Amino acid sequence: NLAISEGEIFGYLFSRGIKMRGVQCIDRDVVKMICREYEVEVIDADPTRVEDMARKKEILDEEDLDSLEDRPPVLTIMGHVDHGKTTLLDYIRTSKVVASEAGGITQGIGAYVVPVPIDGKLQTCVFLDTPGHEAFGAMRARGARVTDIAIIVVAADDGIRPQTNEAIAHAKAAGVPIVVAINKIDKDGANPDRVMEELASIGLMPEDWGGDVPMVQVSALKGDNVDELLETVMLVAELQDLKANPHRSAKGTVIEAGLDKSKGPIATFIVQNGTLKKGDIIISGEAFGKVRALFDEKGNHVDQAGPSIPVQVIGLNNVPIAGDEFEVVSSLDAAREKAEARAEALKNDHIATQAGYGKVTLSSLASAVSRGRLSGLDVHQLNIVMKVDVQGSIEAITQALRVLPQDNVTLKFLLQSPGDISTSDVDLAVVTKAIILGFNVKAPGSVKTHADNKGVEIRLYKVIYDLIDDVRKAMEGLLEPVE
């Protein structure tokens, strides 16, 4: 929000011999020059970088910093149903993985390693096997940060649909860079330009138009341009500077787990730091044990798995939960102790959530605002996930909310989409500390239960005025608690 008009800046640049045409990126030095001229401070406000740093810090410890090495990117494919996620994943799997393994049969372990030729050299990337934002959101709601890059698939003959919006919202909330695959370009009626326009209108500006979101036009069915897509993804990965320390004991995330009749509890881990080895003592949540065997996605025995590599593990005493962390500890006794401590902590956590600690609701916002008013200036941000009956309602409600005075509270919409409230919406609200507003939509019982467990408020309305009025009162600190 600049106090200087665009025209003024254009004029100034013109006087320095720099011609601007419409929306255009200007480089850092020019920005600095403008800021000097107008005496404003330059702040690097790239939220994804901040998230990125936080993510690196969470997984890496201080002592890792001297031993960092490059690691492969971990990718997730998301998008609307029938836009071609599975077809794309299958094409990549069959053309890349099996071909390079001379007819080997991949067994589903939840993720797999794909070699990508870049400048004649094979580089590795890792795909999570469950396409869709539901799995992504559920993992994130458990605190897991596994995905480095999200590939959003949009069908060129259909354009942005509700689940496209949801997928983008989840990727953005996670601070994960997006690469768009505009799919089905082989089809009659495919209109990639229109899709790009739609994406631009919701804030994903194509690189080709001077923005920062790479978009590749592909046919997942025929395989056209899929190599180009993978190369683009690898370029984005390179910019992310993905690193880990392979020379230490492993930690990472459970991405799949279950009970095998003959093998017992079986789980797929993605190692995020360190190297997991046969014989290591591992703990994940309340499950622990000694690694008896490790398998790759082809079912081969392996002795170890380094950073970003998915590996199936047997030896746990219990089935761990997807999205939970795992780590290597020094002894079985230490593991047992930790597991018990966790069980206890989990119980308390549950009690805290039930008691509504830290829960974001319209009435908790209202009381924070009225407290802030008594104690002086305090600006709050209310994050909103909004689900409505039809697209038209989005504009109507957003318009009405946007004109409310935002002196005490600013509103941020993480998602505005038609459709009933889903568990994935609740997961998004968990991660972003948002409330969910529904207009003329339902929240199924299972979704309500999930929201209660996670401490997320869902408010359903049938009359637009009531919705606006509640939000307005909350923003003014006037909303009475409902309980």
Shortest distance, position 310 Cβ to ligand GDP, whole Å:
20
- Name, in order, each residue with C-beta under 8 angstroms of 142's C-beta and a sequence gap of 6 or more: 321, 322, 323, 324
- Report the residue from 184, 251, 342, 387 that binds ligand GDP according to the rule CB under 6 A: 184
Q: Which span (6-14, 75-83, 229-237, 291-299) binds ligand GDP, by CB under 6 A? A: 75-83
> What type of residue sits at position 146?
V
Shortest distance, position 471 Cβ to ligand GDP, whole Å:
35
Q: Does 220 bind ligand GDP (CB under 6 A)?
A: yes
**172: closest CA among 26, 383, 389, 478?**
383
CA–chain centroid gap for 158, Å, is 23
Collect contacts of 117-125 with beta carbons under 8 A, ≥24 apart: 117/227, 118/231, 118/234, 123/72, 123/234, 124/72, 124/308, 125/72, 125/73, 125/74, 125/75, 125/230, 125/233, 125/234, 125/237
| Beta-bridge partners for 249 | 275
- Report the residue from 48, 93, 98, 187 that binds ligand GDP according to the rule CB under 6 A: 187
Shortest distance, position 3 Cβ to ligand GDP, whole Å:
46
Instruction: Write each residue from 10 to 39 as x if it is in contact with ligand GDP (CB under 6 A), else as -, in one continuous string.
Output: ------------------------------
- Terminal C-alpha separation, the chain: 39
Shortest distance, position 94 Cβ to ligand GDP, whole Å:
13
- Report the residue from 37, 186, 389, 452 that binds ligand GDP according to the rule CB under 6 A: 186
- Report the residue from 84, 206, 307, 320 that binds ligand GDP according to the rule CB under 6 A: 84
Q: Does 87 bind ligand GDP (CB under 6 A)?
A: yes
Dist. CA 372–CA 390, nearest whole Å: 36
- Report the residue from 31, 42, 54, 81 that binds ligand GDP according to the rule CB under 6 A: 81
- Report the residue from 183, 225, 268, 275 that binds ligand GDP according to the rule CB under 6 A: 183
Q: Which span (51-59, 213-221, 443-451, 472-480) binds ligand GDP, by CB under 6 A? A: 213-221
Dist. CA 385–CA 438, nearest whole Å: 8
- Name, in order, each residue with C-beta under 8 angstroms of 372's C-beta and a sequence gap of 6 or more: 378, 379, 380, 408, 477
- Residues near ligand GDP (CB under 6 A) are 79, 81-87, 131, 183-184, 186-187, 219-221
